[in-house]
C-alpha cells in the first residue's frame, strides 16, 4: 500500500504505525527504515539499479505540541534543568497553551501534528513550591502543572527546534489545516489586534481573548 510509505528524493521509507519499526531518537525524533535507489550504466551499456538500506531521522508524525516540547527539552536541556530550583523566569504555562508561533497563514492550534500557532500566557517570575517532574527533571505532559514555565534558555532551545516544522491544527472541528512554524512570538494575551463589535464599535482584543470567546 503506497499510503504506508514516504518517498524523499531517491529514498523511500516505511511509515511507522503506532510506533512500530521506529527507533526513538529522543527530542521528538525517530528513525525510519527504508531504501535508497540509484541507477547506473554498467559495461556493455547494461542498466543496473542499485538498492541500499537507508536509515533516516524524522520528526514524530503524530505527537502533540506539548509532548514535542517535553521531548526536545528532555534531550537538549535536561542537564541544564535543575529540579530543585524554586524560582524560574517564565514565558508562561504549558497547561494552557498561550505563546504564539508565527505562521505563514495564521491561526491558533491547541493541537497535534506540525505547523500552526500555539500560545502561552504572559511573562512572569514566580516560585514553584510544588514542582512535579519526572526523575532527574524529565518533563512529560502528565506531570506539567498550571504554573509551569520555561526559562529563557529553554525558550531559546524550543524556538530553534520548532522553526520550520509543520503543525496540524485541531481547534476547528472538521477543518484540517497545516501551518509551517516561522518563529516564536509574543504571548497570546499580549498580542492584540483591532476589531469591530456587532454594534459597530471598534475594539482591541488579544489573541488569547479572541480564541477563548470563539472556540472555548
pLDDT in tens, 159-198: 999 999 888 888 888 888 899 999 888 778 889 999 888 8
Residue 2 is classified by DSSP as G
- State the number of CA atoms in the 13 A half-sphere of 189 facing the CB: 12
Cα–Cα distance, 95 to 140 (Å, whole number)? 11
Q: Residues 6 or more apart from 125 whose CB is under 8 A from it?
A: 87, 88, 89, 90
pTM exceeds cut of 0.85? no
pLDDT above 70: percentage of residues in the chain:
70
SS3 164: coil
Over residues 76-131, the pLDDT tens digits come to: 876 445 444 433 433 433 333 334 333 333 333 333 443 343 444 444 444 443 44
Q: Which of 21-25, 51-55, 135-139 has the highest mean pLDDT?
A: 51-55
Long-range contacts of 127-134 (CB under 8 A, 24+ apart): 127/86, 127/87, 128/86, 128/87, 128/88, 129/86, 131/83, 131/86, 133/83
Is there a contact between 157 and 76 (Cβ–Cβ < 8 Å)? yes
CA distance 135 to 16: 29
Burial of 202 (0-12, 13-18, 19+ CB in 10 A): exposed
d(CA 156, CA 150) in angstroms, rounded, equals: 10
Cβ–Cβ < 8 Å for 168, 182: no
pLDDT for 182 equals 92
HEC profile of 64-114: EHHHHHHHHHHHHCCCCCCCCCCEEEECCCCCCCCEEEEECCCCCCCCECC
Amino acid at each position: 500500500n503506497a499510503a504506508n510509505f514516504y518517498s524523499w528524493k531517491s529514498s523511500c521509507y516505511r511509515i511507522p504505525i503506532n510506533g512500530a519499526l521506529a527507533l526513538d531518537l529522543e527530542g521528538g525524533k525517530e528513525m525510519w527504515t527504508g531504501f535508497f535507489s540509484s541507477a547506473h550504466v554498467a559495461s556493455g551499456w547494461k542498466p543496473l539499479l542499485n538498492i541500499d538500506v537507508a536509515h533516516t531521522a524524522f520528526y514524530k508524525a503524530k505527537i502533540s505540541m506539548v509532548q514535542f516540547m517535553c521531548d526536545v527539552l528532555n534531550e537538549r536541556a535536561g542537564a541544564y534543568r535543575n529540579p530543585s530550583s524554586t524560582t524560574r523566569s517564565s514565558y508562561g504555562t504549558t497547561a494552557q497553551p498561550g505563546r504564539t508561533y508565527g505562521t505563514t497563514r495564521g491561526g491558533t492550534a491547541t493541537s497535534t501534528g506540525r505547523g500552526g500557532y500555539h500560545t502561552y500566557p504572559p511573562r512572569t517570575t514566580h516560585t514553584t513550591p510544588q514542582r512535579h517532574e519526572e526523575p532527574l527533571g524529565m518533563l512529560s505532559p502528565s506531570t506539567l502543572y498550571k504554573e509551569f514555565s520555561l526559562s529563557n534558555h529553554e525558550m531559546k532551545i524550543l524556538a530553534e527546534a520548532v522553526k520550520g516544522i509543520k503543525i496540524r491544527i485541531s481547534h476547528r472541528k472538521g477543518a484540517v489545516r497545516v501551518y509551517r512554524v516561522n518563529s516564536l512570538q509574543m504571548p497570546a494575551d499580549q498580542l492584540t489586534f483591532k476589531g469591530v463589535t456587532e454594534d459597530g464599535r471598534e475594539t482591541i482584543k488579544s489573541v488569547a481573548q479572541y480564541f477563548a470567546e470563539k472556540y472555548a
